[in-house]
Amino acid sequence: MFDPNEVKRDFPIFANNPGLTFLDSAASSQKPRVVIDALAHYYEYDHANVHRGAYELSQRATEAYEHARAQLAGFLNADPDEIVFVRNATEALNLVAYAWGLANLRAGDEILLTEMEHHANLVPWQLAAQRTGAQIKAVPVTAAGRLDLDAFEALLSERTRVFAVTQMSNVLGAVNPVAELAAAARERGALVVVDGAQGAPHLPVRVDELNADFYALSGHKMLGPTGAGVLWGRRDVLGRMPPFLGGGSMIDRVEITSSSYTAPPQRFEAGTPAIAEAIGLGVAAEYLKELGMDDVWEHDRRLTRYALERLREVPDLHLYGPTGEDRGAVVAFNLGSLHPHDLATALDERGVAVRTGHHCAQPLHRRLGVAATARASFYVYNDESDVDRLLEALLEAREFFKAWL
Ligand code: PLP
Protein backbone atom coordinates (compact mmCIF):
# COMPACT_ATOMS: atom_id res chain seq x y z
CA MET A 1 0.00 0.00 0.00
CA PHE A 2 1.31 3.45 -0.93
CA ASP A 3 1.90 6.20 1.59
CA PRO A 4 -0.37 9.19 0.75
CA ASN A 5 2.20 11.54 2.27
CA GLU A 6 4.83 10.33 -0.14
CA VAL A 7 2.34 10.53 -2.99
CA LYS A 8 1.58 14.11 -1.98
CA ARG A 9 5.21 15.07 -2.58
CA ASP A 10 4.75 14.17 -6.26
CA PHE A 11 2.16 16.96 -6.59
CA PRO A 12 3.76 20.44 -6.83
CA ILE A 13 0.47 22.20 -6.07
CA PHE A 14 0.77 21.25 -2.40
CA ALA A 15 4.30 22.67 -1.97
CA ASN A 16 3.11 25.81 -3.77
CA ASN A 17 0.04 26.18 -1.55
CA PRO A 18 1.22 25.39 1.97
CA GLY A 19 -1.66 24.96 4.38
CA LEU A 20 -4.10 23.89 1.66
CA THR A 21 -6.39 21.00 2.54
CA PHE A 22 -7.69 20.05 -0.87
CA LEU A 23 -10.94 18.08 -0.65
CA ASP A 24 -12.38 18.64 -4.11
CA SER A 25 -10.81 15.94 -6.26
CA ALA A 26 -14.22 14.70 -7.41
CA ALA A 27 -14.52 17.98 -9.31
CA SER A 28 -10.96 17.84 -10.64
CA SER A 29 -7.90 16.14 -9.22
CA GLN A 30 -4.45 17.65 -8.83
CA LYS A 31 -1.62 16.64 -11.17
CA PRO A 32 1.62 14.83 -10.35
CA ARG A 33 4.93 16.25 -11.55
CA VAL A 34 5.28 13.44 -14.16
CA VAL A 35 2.08 14.55 -15.89
CA ILE A 36 3.05 18.24 -15.86
CA ASP A 37 6.52 17.32 -17.17
CA ALA A 38 5.03 15.15 -19.92
CA LEU A 39 3.09 18.15 -21.28
CA ALA A 40 6.19 20.36 -21.28
CA HIS A 41 8.36 17.61 -22.76
CA TYR A 42 5.91 16.99 -25.57
CA TYR A 43 5.82 20.67 -26.54
CA GLU A 44 9.58 21.11 -26.15
CA TYR A 45 10.61 18.02 -28.14
CA ASP A 46 7.85 16.27 -30.06
CA HIS A 47 5.01 18.56 -31.13
CA ALA A 48 3.53 18.42 -34.62
CA ASN A 49 0.08 17.48 -35.87
CA VAL A 50 -0.72 13.77 -35.69
CA HIS A 51 -1.78 11.31 -38.40
CA ARG A 52 -0.87 13.79 -41.14
CA GLY A 53 2.79 14.58 -41.61
CA ALA A 54 5.26 12.44 -43.53
CA TYR A 55 8.14 13.94 -41.59
CA GLU A 56 9.81 12.40 -38.57
CA LEU A 57 8.59 14.89 -35.97
CA SER A 58 4.98 14.32 -36.92
CA GLN A 59 5.52 10.59 -36.77
CA ARG A 60 6.99 10.95 -33.30
CA ALA A 61 3.97 12.98 -32.17
CA THR A 62 1.67 10.35 -33.68
CA GLU A 63 3.53 7.57 -31.92
CA ALA A 64 3.31 9.38 -28.59
CA TYR A 65 -0.43 10.00 -29.09
CA GLU A 66 -1.10 6.38 -30.07
CA HIS A 67 1.05 5.20 -27.16
CA ALA A 68 -1.28 7.14 -24.87
CA ARG A 69 -4.23 5.32 -26.44
CA ALA A 70 -2.53 2.00 -25.66
CA GLN A 71 -1.89 3.14 -22.07
CA LEU A 72 -5.58 3.97 -21.60
CA ALA A 73 -6.53 0.65 -23.16
CA GLY A 74 -4.22 -1.06 -20.66
CA PHE A 75 -5.77 0.91 -17.81
CA LEU A 76 -9.28 -0.24 -18.76
CA ASN A 77 -8.30 -3.70 -19.98
CA ALA A 78 -9.53 -2.90 -23.46
CA ASP A 79 -8.06 -2.88 -26.96
CA PRO A 80 -6.57 0.39 -28.26
CA ASP A 81 -8.96 0.52 -31.22
CA GLU A 82 -11.86 0.69 -28.76
CA ILE A 83 -10.46 3.83 -27.11
CA VAL A 84 -11.82 7.12 -28.48
CA PHE A 85 -10.16 10.28 -27.17
CA VAL A 86 -12.64 13.01 -26.33
CA ARG A 87 -12.47 16.12 -24.16
CA ASN A 88 -14.17 14.71 -21.09
CA ALA A 89 -16.94 12.39 -19.88
CA THR A 90 -19.55 14.95 -20.91
CA GLU A 91 -18.38 14.82 -24.51
CA ALA A 92 -18.16 11.03 -24.42
CA LEU A 93 -21.78 10.73 -23.24
CA ASN A 94 -22.98 13.30 -25.77
CA LEU A 95 -21.17 11.38 -28.50
CA VAL A 96 -23.12 8.23 -27.68
CA ALA A 97 -26.46 10.00 -27.23
CA TYR A 98 -26.12 11.81 -30.56
CA ALA A 99 -24.33 9.29 -32.76
CA TRP A 100 -25.96 6.10 -31.45
CA GLY A 101 -29.14 7.65 -30.09
CA LEU A 102 -30.21 9.61 -33.16
CA ALA A 103 -29.50 6.65 -35.43
CA ASN A 104 -31.24 4.02 -33.32
CA LEU A 105 -33.92 5.52 -31.07
CA ARG A 106 -37.55 5.73 -32.19
CA ALA A 107 -40.88 6.84 -30.74
CA GLY A 108 -42.01 4.17 -28.29
CA ASP A 109 -38.45 3.33 -27.20
CA GLU A 110 -37.43 3.95 -23.61
CA ILE A 111 -34.20 5.32 -22.21
CA LEU A 112 -33.66 4.12 -18.66
CA LEU A 113 -31.52 6.40 -16.50
CA THR A 114 -31.19 6.76 -12.75
CA GLU A 115 -32.07 9.49 -10.33
CA MET A 116 -28.45 9.72 -9.20
CA GLU A 117 -27.04 10.67 -12.61
CA HIS A 118 -24.87 13.71 -13.15
CA HIS A 119 -26.44 16.13 -15.64
CA ALA A 120 -23.84 14.89 -18.16
CA ASN A 121 -25.68 11.56 -18.25
CA LEU A 122 -29.15 13.13 -18.24
CA VAL A 123 -29.25 16.11 -20.56
CA PRO A 124 -27.71 14.43 -23.66
CA TRP A 125 -30.41 11.73 -23.36
CA GLN A 126 -33.11 14.38 -23.02
CA LEU A 127 -31.85 15.98 -26.23
CA ALA A 128 -31.85 12.61 -27.98
CA ALA A 129 -35.33 11.84 -26.64
CA GLN A 130 -36.69 15.18 -27.86
CA ARG A 131 -35.37 14.49 -31.35
CA THR A 132 -36.48 10.87 -31.62
CA GLY A 133 -39.68 10.66 -29.57
CA ALA A 134 -38.13 8.15 -27.16
CA GLN A 135 -39.27 8.34 -23.54
CA ILE A 136 -37.08 8.74 -20.47
CA LYS A 137 -37.57 6.72 -17.30
CA ALA A 138 -35.43 6.84 -14.18
CA VAL A 139 -34.58 4.28 -11.51
CA PRO A 140 -35.29 5.95 -8.14
CA VAL A 141 -32.83 6.25 -5.28
CA THR A 142 -33.83 4.73 -1.93
CA ALA A 143 -33.82 6.58 1.37
CA ALA A 144 -30.58 4.73 2.13
CA GLY A 145 -28.94 6.42 -0.85
CA ARG A 146 -28.73 3.45 -3.19
CA LEU A 147 -30.40 2.56 -6.45
CA ASP A 148 -33.76 0.88 -5.96
CA LEU A 149 -32.94 -2.46 -7.56
CA ASP A 150 -36.54 -3.74 -7.46
CA ALA A 151 -37.64 -0.62 -9.32
CA PHE A 152 -34.85 -1.21 -11.83
CA GLU A 153 -36.20 -4.70 -12.55
CA ALA A 154 -39.72 -3.35 -12.85
CA LEU A 155 -38.73 -0.50 -15.17
CA LEU A 156 -36.65 -2.67 -17.48
CA SER A 157 -38.69 -3.93 -20.44
CA GLU A 158 -38.43 -4.87 -24.12
CA ARG A 159 -38.97 -1.18 -24.83
CA THR A 160 -35.74 -0.24 -23.00
CA ARG A 161 -33.26 0.60 -25.75
CA VAL A 162 -30.69 2.35 -23.56
CA PHE A 163 -29.68 1.92 -19.95
CA ALA A 164 -27.34 4.71 -18.84
CA VAL A 165 -25.94 4.58 -15.32
CA THR A 166 -23.15 6.03 -13.25
CA GLN A 167 -20.61 3.65 -11.78
CA MET A 168 -20.28 5.83 -8.69
CA SER A 169 -22.42 8.75 -7.56
CA ASN A 170 -20.55 12.06 -7.33
CA VAL A 171 -22.79 13.08 -4.40
CA LEU A 172 -23.64 9.94 -2.44
CA GLY A 173 -20.46 7.96 -3.05
CA ALA A 174 -22.70 4.98 -3.77
CA VAL A 175 -21.06 2.46 -6.08
CA ASN A 176 -23.61 0.74 -8.30
CA PRO A 177 -23.50 -2.98 -9.13
CA VAL A 178 -22.94 -2.02 -12.75
CA ALA A 179 -21.92 -5.43 -14.10
CA GLU A 180 -25.13 -7.07 -12.80
CA LEU A 181 -27.38 -4.21 -13.91
CA ALA A 182 -25.67 -4.12 -17.30
CA ALA A 183 -26.09 -7.87 -17.79
CA ALA A 184 -29.82 -7.62 -17.07
CA ALA A 185 -30.24 -4.64 -19.40
CA ARG A 186 -28.25 -6.19 -22.24
CA GLU A 187 -30.28 -9.38 -21.91
CA ARG A 188 -33.32 -7.26 -22.83
CA GLY A 189 -31.45 -5.89 -25.82
CA ALA A 190 -30.65 -2.48 -24.33
CA LEU A 191 -27.48 -0.57 -25.04
CA VAL A 192 -25.60 -0.07 -21.76
CA VAL A 193 -23.74 3.19 -21.19
CA VAL A 194 -21.67 3.59 -18.03
CA ASP A 195 -20.60 6.98 -16.74
CA GLY A 196 -17.19 6.23 -15.27
CA ALA A 197 -16.26 9.84 -14.45
CA GLN A 198 -16.12 8.99 -10.74
CA GLY A 199 -15.45 5.27 -11.13
CA ALA A 200 -12.32 5.30 -13.28
CA PRO A 201 -10.23 7.46 -10.91
CA HIS A 202 -10.99 5.31 -7.88
CA LEU A 203 -11.93 1.74 -8.80
CA PRO A 204 -10.09 -0.96 -10.69
CA VAL A 205 -12.03 -1.05 -13.97
CA ARG A 206 -12.04 -3.92 -16.44
CA VAL A 207 -14.40 -2.98 -19.22
CA ASP A 208 -14.26 -6.58 -20.46
CA GLU A 209 -16.05 -7.63 -17.24
CA LEU A 210 -18.53 -4.76 -17.04
CA ASN A 211 -21.08 -6.08 -19.58
CA ALA A 212 -21.42 -2.53 -20.90
CA ASP A 213 -21.30 -1.19 -24.46
CA PHE A 214 -19.80 2.20 -23.59
CA TYR A 215 -17.73 3.58 -20.73
CA ALA A 216 -17.02 7.31 -20.37
CA LEU A 217 -14.28 8.94 -18.29
CA SER A 218 -12.72 12.35 -17.69
CA GLY A 219 -8.93 12.45 -17.58
CA HIS A 220 -8.77 15.51 -15.35
CA LYS A 221 -10.46 13.64 -12.49
CA MET A 222 -7.80 10.90 -12.58
CA LEU A 223 -4.61 12.98 -12.34
CA GLY A 224 -4.55 13.86 -16.05
CA PRO A 225 -4.75 17.27 -17.73
CA THR A 226 -8.05 18.97 -18.51
CA GLY A 227 -9.20 18.55 -22.11
CA ALA A 228 -8.66 14.79 -22.48
CA GLY A 229 -11.15 12.05 -21.72
CA VAL A 230 -12.02 8.65 -23.07
CA LEU A 231 -15.01 6.94 -24.55
CA TRP A 232 -14.49 3.19 -24.54
CA GLY A 233 -16.87 1.41 -26.89
CA ARG A 234 -17.44 -2.24 -27.65
CA ARG A 235 -15.79 -2.85 -31.01
CA ASP A 236 -18.86 -4.06 -32.91
CA VAL A 237 -21.06 -1.26 -31.54
CA LEU A 238 -18.47 1.40 -32.40
CA GLY A 239 -18.12 -0.16 -35.85
CA ARG A 240 -21.84 0.21 -36.59
CA MET A 241 -22.14 3.72 -35.16
CA PRO A 242 -22.24 6.74 -37.50
CA PRO A 243 -19.91 9.67 -36.78
CA PHE A 244 -20.69 12.42 -34.29
CA LEU A 245 -18.55 15.27 -35.66
CA GLY A 246 -17.39 15.48 -39.26
CA GLY A 247 -14.12 16.85 -40.58
CA GLY A 248 -10.50 15.93 -41.05
CA SER A 249 -9.04 12.62 -39.84
CA MET A 250 -12.35 10.75 -39.69
CA ILE A 251 -12.92 10.21 -43.41
CA ASP A 252 -11.96 7.65 -45.98
CA ARG A 253 -13.11 9.32 -49.22
CA VAL A 254 -14.79 12.70 -49.55
CA GLU A 255 -16.94 13.87 -52.46
CA ILE A 256 -18.68 17.20 -52.63
CA THR A 257 -22.01 15.78 -51.49
CA SER A 258 -21.07 12.66 -49.54
CA SER A 259 -18.23 10.90 -47.74
CA SER A 260 -17.23 7.52 -46.40
CA TYR A 261 -15.63 7.24 -43.00
CA THR A 262 -12.62 5.56 -41.45
CA ALA A 263 -12.94 2.75 -38.93
CA PRO A 264 -13.12 3.53 -35.20
CA PRO A 265 -11.56 5.02 -33.20
CA GLN A 266 -10.50 7.65 -35.80
CA ARG A 267 -14.09 7.88 -37.08
CA PHE A 268 -14.95 9.61 -33.81
CA GLU A 269 -11.91 11.89 -33.59
CA ALA A 270 -12.63 14.60 -36.15
CA GLY A 271 -10.11 17.43 -36.36
CA THR A 272 -6.85 17.93 -34.49
CA PRO A 273 -7.12 16.21 -31.13
CA ALA A 274 -5.82 17.37 -27.74
CA ILE A 275 -2.47 15.66 -28.36
CA ALA A 276 -0.45 16.85 -25.37
CA GLU A 277 -3.40 16.28 -23.06
CA ALA A 278 -3.93 12.72 -24.27
CA ILE A 279 -0.23 12.03 -23.72
CA GLY A 280 -0.48 13.51 -20.23
CA LEU A 281 -3.51 11.33 -19.53
CA GLY A 282 -1.53 8.27 -20.61
CA VAL A 283 1.15 9.17 -18.07
CA ALA A 284 -1.51 9.71 -15.38
CA ALA A 285 -2.98 6.27 -16.09
CA GLU A 286 0.50 4.72 -15.73
CA TYR A 287 1.03 6.60 -12.46
CA LEU A 288 -2.24 5.22 -11.08
CA LYS A 289 -1.40 1.72 -12.30
CA GLU A 290 1.89 1.92 -10.45
CA LEU A 291 0.10 2.90 -7.26
CA GLY A 292 -2.21 -0.05 -7.98
CA MET A 293 -5.92 0.56 -8.50
CA ASP A 294 -6.82 -2.07 -5.89
CA ASP A 295 -4.77 -0.09 -3.38
CA VAL A 296 -6.27 3.22 -4.54
CA TRP A 297 -9.76 1.82 -3.91
CA GLU A 298 -8.70 0.39 -0.55
CA HIS A 299 -7.13 3.71 0.45
CA ASP A 300 -10.24 5.65 -0.64
CA ARG A 301 -12.60 3.38 1.24
CA ARG A 302 -10.54 3.46 4.42
CA LEU A 303 -10.34 7.23 4.34
CA THR A 304 -14.06 7.56 3.63
CA ARG A 305 -14.90 5.26 6.54
CA TYR A 306 -12.68 7.36 8.79
CA ALA A 307 -14.29 10.56 7.50
CA LEU A 308 -17.82 9.27 8.10
CA GLU A 309 -16.87 8.17 11.60
CA ARG A 310 -15.26 11.50 12.53
CA LEU A 311 -17.92 13.68 10.91
CA ARG A 312 -20.62 11.98 12.95
CA GLU A 313 -19.01 13.74 15.93
CA VAL A 314 -20.14 17.14 14.61
CA PRO A 315 -23.50 18.13 16.10
CA ASP A 316 -26.12 19.31 13.57
CA LEU A 317 -24.14 17.85 10.66
CA HIS A 318 -26.33 15.93 8.24
CA LEU A 319 -24.49 13.35 6.13
CA TYR A 320 -25.86 12.01 2.84
CA GLY A 321 -25.29 8.70 1.14
CA PRO A 322 -25.17 5.05 2.13
CA THR A 323 -23.15 3.42 4.83
CA GLY A 324 -21.21 0.30 3.98
CA GLU A 325 -18.02 -0.97 2.46
CA ASP A 326 -18.70 -0.20 -1.17
CA ARG A 327 -18.76 3.54 -0.78
CA GLY A 328 -16.43 5.81 -2.71
CA ALA A 329 -14.46 8.83 -1.61
CA VAL A 330 -17.08 11.56 -1.57
CA VAL A 331 -18.99 12.77 1.46
CA ALA A 332 -21.81 15.28 1.04
CA PHE A 333 -23.17 17.12 4.07
CA ASN A 334 -25.12 20.07 5.41
CA LEU A 335 -24.73 21.84 8.74
CA GLY A 336 -28.13 22.58 10.27
CA SER A 337 -30.03 24.98 8.06
CA LEU A 338 -26.91 26.89 7.09
CA HIS A 339 -26.54 27.48 3.36
CA PRO A 340 -23.75 25.17 2.19
CA HIS A 341 -22.14 28.06 0.35
CA ASP A 342 -21.69 29.95 3.63
CA LEU A 343 -20.33 26.80 5.22
CA ALA A 344 -17.83 26.27 2.39
CA THR A 345 -16.68 29.88 2.64
CA ALA A 346 -16.07 29.41 6.35
CA LEU A 347 -14.13 26.20 5.65
CA ASP A 348 -12.10 27.96 2.96
CA GLU A 349 -11.13 30.65 5.47
CA ARG A 350 -9.63 27.77 7.44
CA GLY A 351 -7.73 26.42 4.41
CA VAL A 352 -10.16 23.61 3.61
CA ALA A 353 -11.37 23.48 -0.01
CA VAL A 354 -14.71 21.71 -0.52
CA ARG A 355 -17.31 22.06 -3.24
CA THR A 356 -20.86 23.30 -2.72
CA GLY A 357 -24.01 23.42 -4.81
CA HIS A 358 -26.06 20.75 -6.54
CA HIS A 359 -22.91 19.14 -8.04
CA CYS A 360 -24.69 18.89 -11.41
CA ALA A 361 -27.17 16.47 -9.87
CA GLN A 362 -30.37 18.48 -9.36
CA PRO A 363 -32.82 15.55 -9.56
CA LEU A 364 -30.82 13.72 -6.90
CA HIS A 365 -30.81 16.77 -4.63
CA ARG A 366 -34.56 17.05 -5.11
CA ARG A 367 -34.84 13.44 -3.97
CA LEU A 368 -32.65 14.28 -0.94
CA GLY A 369 -35.02 17.17 -0.21
CA VAL A 370 -32.35 19.88 -0.37
CA ALA A 371 -31.29 22.42 -2.98
CA ALA A 372 -27.60 22.03 -2.32
CA THR A 373 -24.96 20.28 -0.23
CA ALA A 374 -21.32 20.76 0.65
CA ARG A 375 -19.07 17.95 -0.55
CA ALA A 376 -15.64 16.77 0.57
CA SER A 377 -13.89 14.33 -1.73
CA PHE A 378 -10.63 12.47 -1.24
CA TYR A 379 -7.93 11.02 -3.41
CA VAL A 380 -4.51 9.39 -3.31
CA TYR A 381 -2.74 12.42 -1.79
CA ASN A 382 -5.21 12.79 1.11
CA ASP A 383 -4.90 11.10 4.47
CA GLU A 384 -6.50 11.11 7.93
CA SER A 385 -4.90 14.47 8.81
CA ASP A 386 -6.96 16.10 6.02
CA VAL A 387 -10.13 14.64 7.54
CA ASP A 388 -9.03 15.91 10.97
CA ARG A 389 -8.56 19.43 9.56
CA LEU A 390 -12.01 19.26 7.95
CA LEU A 391 -13.45 18.21 11.30
CA GLU A 392 -11.74 21.04 13.17
CA ALA A 393 -12.86 23.58 10.58
CA LEU A 394 -16.44 22.27 10.75
CA LEU A 395 -16.49 22.52 14.55
CA GLU A 396 -15.16 26.08 14.40
CA ALA A 397 -17.68 27.01 11.70
CA ARG A 398 -20.46 25.54 13.81
CA GLU A 399 -19.36 27.63 16.77
CA PHE A 400 -19.24 30.74 14.59
CA PHE A 401 -22.68 30.18 12.99
CA LYS A 402 -24.35 28.83 16.16
CA ALA A 403 -26.99 31.54 16.20
CA TRP A 404 -28.08 30.81 12.60
CA LEU A 405 -28.30 27.00 12.72
N1 PLP B 1 -20.36 12.25 -14.46
C2 PLP B 1 -20.07 12.33 -13.17
C3 PLP B 1 -20.55 11.28 -12.23
C4 PLP B 1 -19.31 13.41 -12.70
O5 PLP B 1 -19.04 13.51 -11.39
C6 PLP B 1 -18.89 14.39 -13.61
C7 PLP B 1 -18.14 15.57 -13.13
O8 PLP B 1 -18.24 15.98 -12.01
C9 PLP B 1 -19.20 14.23 -14.96
C10 PLP B 1 -19.94 13.15 -15.36
C11 PLP B 1 -18.79 15.22 -15.98
O12 PLP B 1 -17.41 15.34 -16.05
P13 PLP B 1 -16.76 16.43 -16.98
O14 PLP B 1 -17.24 17.75 -16.51
O15 PLP B 1 -15.30 16.23 -16.80
O16 PLP B 1 -17.20 16.12 -18.37
**Residue in 118, 176, 358, 379 to alter for ligand 1 test, most ligand atoms within 8 A of Cβ:** 118
Spell out the per-residue pLDDT of the chain, length 405, in tens: 999 999 999 999 999 999 999 999 999 999 999 999 999 999 999 999 998 778 999 999 999 999 999 999 999 999 999 999 999 999 999 999 999 999 999 999 999 999 999 999 999 999 999 999 999 999 999 999 999 999 999 999 999 999 999 999 999 999 999 999 999 999 999 999 999 999 999 999 999 999 999 999 999 999 999 999 999 999 999 999 999 999 999 999 999 999 999 999 999 999 999 999 999 999 999 999 999 999 999 999 999 999 999 999 999 999 999 987 789 999 999 999 999 999 999 999 999 999 999 999 999 999 999 999 999 999 999 999 999 999 999 999 999 998 878
Q: Are residues 149 and 222 in the same domain?
A: yes
Task: Count other C-beta atoms under 10 Å from residue 197's C-beta.
Answer: 27
Q: Are residues 140 and 105 in the same domain?
A: yes
User: How close is the Cα of 374 to the center of ligand 1, in Å?
Assistant: 17
Checking phi first, is residue 84 left (phi over 0); if not, alpha (psi -120 to 50) or beta?
beta
Alpha carbon separation from 128 to 13, 99, 132, 325, 394 (Å, rounded):
40, 10, 6, 36, 43
Q: Are residues 222 and 307 in the same domain?
A: no
Give the full edge-to-edge strand order of the sheet including 191-195: 83-86, 229-233, 214-218, 191-195, 160-166, 110-114, 135-139
Contact 268, 243 (CB under 8 A): yes
User: How close is the Cα of 358 to the center of ligand 1, in Å?
Assistant: 13
Which domain, by its residues, includes 55?
35-290
Q: Are residues 69 and 112 in the same domain?
A: yes
Q: What is the dihedral of CA 18, 173, 200, 25, to 10 degrees?
A: -20
Q: Are residues 134 and 150 in the same domain?
A: yes
Res 19: pLDDT: 94
Res 61: pLDDT: 97
Nearest C-alpha to atom 6 of ligand 1 is from which residue? 197
CATH number assigned to the domain comprising residue 302: 3.90.1150.10
Q: How many domains does the chain have?
A: 2
Q: Which of 34, 48, 360, 370 is catalytic?
A: 360
Ligand 1 pocket member 114 (CB < 6 A): no
**Residue in 195, 223, 377 to alter for ligand 1 test, most ligand atoms within 8 A of Cβ:** 195
Q: Are residues 228 and 142 in the same domain?
A: yes
Q: Which residues pair with 111 in a beta bridge?
A: 136, 162
* Residue whose C-alpha is closest to residue 229's, from 352, 373, 75: 75
Ligand 1 pocket member 118 (CB < 6 A): yes
Q: Are residues 395 and 285 in the same domain?
A: no
Q: Are residues 140 and 10 in the same domain?
A: no
Ligand 1 pocket member 88 (CB < 6 A): yes
Ligand 1 pocket member 25 (CB < 6 A): no
Contact 102, 131 (CB under 8 A): yes
- 360 part of the active site: yes
Q: Are residues 191 and 333 in the same domain?
A: no
Res 327: pLDDT: 92
Res 345: pLDDT: 96
CATH number assigned to the domain comprising residue 218: 3.40.640.10
| Pairwise CA distance, residues 11 & 39, whole Å | 15
Res 296: pLDDT: 98
Ligand 1 pocket member 176 (CB < 6 A): no
Q: Are residues 26 and 75 in the same domain?
A: no
User: 229, 263, 290: which is the final residue of a domain?
Assistant: 290
- Which segments within 80-213 are labelled E, that is strand? 83-86, 110-114, 135-139, 160-166, 191-195
